[in-house]
Amino acid sequence: MRLTRTPADDQQREWPSGGVIARLVVTLVVATLLQTTVAPNIRILGANPDFALIIVVCVALLMGSEIGAVFGFLTGTLVAIALMEPLGLSAFVFVLVGFLAGRYAETADLSAGYAPLVSAFAATLLANVLLAMAQYLLERQVPLGFFLSRVLVPSLILNTLLAAPLYLVVRLWLRGAGDLRVARAR
Amino acid sequence: MLTLYFRESDGGFVHGTQSVVLRVVAPLQNGTARATKPFRDAWNWTGDLFSAKSENAKLRKELEQLRAGIAKELTTQDENAQMRAILALQRDRIYPDGVRLVTARVVARSATAWYSTVKIDVGSESGVEVYDAVVNGAGLVGRVTKVDADAAQVTLITDQQSFVDAMVQPGGAQGIISGSVTGDVTLQYVDKNERVKVGQYVVTSGRQGSVFVRGIPVGQIESVGNQDVELYQSISLDPFVDFRKLDLVQVVVR
């Protein structure tokens, strides 16, 4: 995966239409509501699903690094506002996740069905490590055993499993059913 | 943005922006929380069903233990009656004159392991202020840590940065209830000379300067550790409140 842009990348850049932007705004609101009102009540394998993170990954995979980064920033900010948590922390993490997932989509072959799963796995790993580091810097307790066994491993499993259905839903929503039929024909 | 947030005052630009956006998001969250409540209830019911089987075996074992201990129970009945009387007295007279209870609904909660916070749908317009205690029918839930016009953030007593001055009943041993990142709740700084037993109740002490009024039930003592090298006793609590199922709460407005 290349992290830097090439002139070819710039030529290929296409800004989304008004309709796509409207769909992205709806996705943003739904991601925030899912993360703040639904996710805390679902506990599987000892962890809560991170809908916002997975949706950021899905949008970045479908729309590219720039839109992924912007969408990540807005999602992180809105989730922090909705929970009245300190602003900036989730936004920072989600910007990185959105950008890196987008770059992965721009530079790697996404025809393989496992691409969303790999991306969600890597994004969960990155996000959890960054959030744990931030907690440490904010002088909160971060016991390593607890972090590994009760936070990281369950989240990795759960988010990776949820990535496939969520990717399908987000793809259908952003690109329509026709895109899936084309992909299946290939 | 993170630097600005932590450096500026509560009336600063970033806080102000947060407040404005929050006013838009809060009604949406409220609506979603209400709409998804039947699904949450169904989810909890399913979870309870699965745990019922293992709980059944556990309860049978407990029943056997209880039968064996019934003789002992009779001898401690007087003590229990006293404890119940004390608890009933506290329940009747928990809130002093001038205290008002504002009912609120939990509309969102943090899904990360690092923060044990919830957001409720009442704020400064209802008279809620930072440091107000939050309770439900079972006992102490937490305290208000941030307030907006029509929303407030409540830090639960299970949060690792939650500290509540408390006392053991009966006996009156004083300590500080502290949460942790694992969600366990402990009673700290209880002198080794104090006689504390498993099963005793812990309530807020409401000492001068405390943010909590006296006598709010918090939990029951689960275990007591007493090591020679430690200055204080190591006491773990079983909170009365089921934090997984928080829905309606009351803010104690003074």
Among A102-111, A160-169, B171-180, B231-240, the least confident range? A102-111
CATH code at position B166:
2.40.10.340
Nearest chain A residue (CA) to B162:
A140
Domain contains B64: no
For residue B154, pLDDT over 90 is answered with yes
pTM above 0.90, yes or no: no
Question: How many domains does the structure of chain B reveal?
Answer: 1
For residue B26, pLDDT over 60 is answered with yes
**Is B28 in Cβ contact with A91 (below 8 Å)?**
no
Domain contains B199: yes
For residue A134, pLDDT over 50 is answered with yes
How many cross-chain Cβ pairs, A to B, lie less than 8 Å apart? 105
The two tokens of residue B198 are: 């498993």
Domain contains B52: no
Domain contains B58: no
Task: Tell me, yes or no, if A32 comes closer than 8 A to chain B by beta carbon.
Answer: yes
Domain of residue B127: give its range.
76-254
Contacts with A77 from chain B: Cβ below 8 Å? 1
Looking at every residue in chain B, the average pLDDT score rounds to 80
Note whether A101 and A68 are within 8 A (CB). Answer: yes
Tell me how far apart the alpha carbons of residues B217 and B215 are, in angstroms, rounded to a whole number. 6
- B25 → closest Cβ in A82, A146, A150: A82
What is the band of A100 on the pLDDT scale with cuts at 50, 70, 90?
very high
Domain contains B53: no
Percent of chain B with pLDDT over 90: 9
Mapped to the 3 state alphabet, what secondary structure does chain B carry? CHHHHHHCCCCCHHHHHHHHHHHHHHHHHHHHHHHHHHHHHHHHHHHHHHHHHHHHHHHHHHHHHHHHCHHHHHHCHHHHHHHHHHHHHHHHCCCCCCCEEEEEEEEEECCCCCCCEEEECCCHHHCCCCCCEEECCCCEEEEEEEECCCCEEEEECCCCCCEEEEEEECCCCEEEEECCCCCCEEEEEEECCCCCCCCCEEEECCCCCCCCCCCCEEEEEEEEECCCCCCEEEEEEEECCCHHHCCEEEEEEC
Q: Which of A28-42, A90-104, B87-101 has the highest mean pLDDT?
A: A90-104
- B1 → closest Cβ in A37, A87, A131: A87
- Packed helices A18-33 and A65-83: angle between N→C axes, nearest 10 degrees: 40
CB atoms within 10 A of CB B197: 11
Tell me how far apart the alpha carbons of residues B73 and B44 are, in angstroms, rounded to a whole number. 34
Q: Which CATH number fits domain A18-185: 1.10.10, 1.10.1870, 2.60.40, 1.10.1760?
A: 1.10.1760
Contacts with A85 from chain B: Cβ below 8 Å? 110, 115, 117, 153
Nearest chain B residue (CA) to A133:
B114
Nearest chain A residue (CA) to B243:
A41
